[in-house]
Amino acid sequence: MKYELIIEGRNFLVKFGWRRKKHGFYKTVRVEADDPDAAELKGVEFVRSDAEIRKLTRNSKDDPPTLHLDSWTELPEDASVDYMGGASWYPE
């Protein structure tokens, strides 16, 4: 089955411009998985390994950011899963 997921990140200490501040974000990913639970695990791992987000993150080990599934939609079988949208950031 194919799924489109919206993953939310929270507590990300990032530097935009000259200031470091805590932000959250939403990011859309598409995955192929056996069920919604497996899709969530795969989607969170895709976002966790995103090079751009990793490069921006400045959290210390004792204040880690978190990722979780916000929502999901099952896609038609002919939908492409080769898609990961950009992150939409918001200040916390």
- CA nearest 47: which of 92, 7, 77? 7
Distance between CA 68 and CA 81 in Å, rounded? 19
- Cβ atoms of 31 and 81 closer than 8 Å: yes
What is the gyration radius of the CA atoms in the chain, in angstroms?
Answer: 14
Look at the block and give the residue holding tokens 């530097």: 15
Q: Would you say residue 83 has pLDDT above 80?
A: no
- CA nearest 71: which of 12, 22, 33, 29? 29
What's the confidence (pLDDT) of residue 17? 83
What's the confidence (pLDDT) of residue 48? 95
What's the confidence (pLDDT) of residue 78? 94
- Cβ atoms of 11 and 22 closer than 8 Å: yes
What's the confidence (pLDDT) of residue 15? 87
- Indicate the domain borders of the chain: 2-91
Mind listing the pLDDT tens digit for each residue in 4-63?
999 999 999 998 888 899 999 999 999 999 999 999 999 999 999 999 999 999 999 999
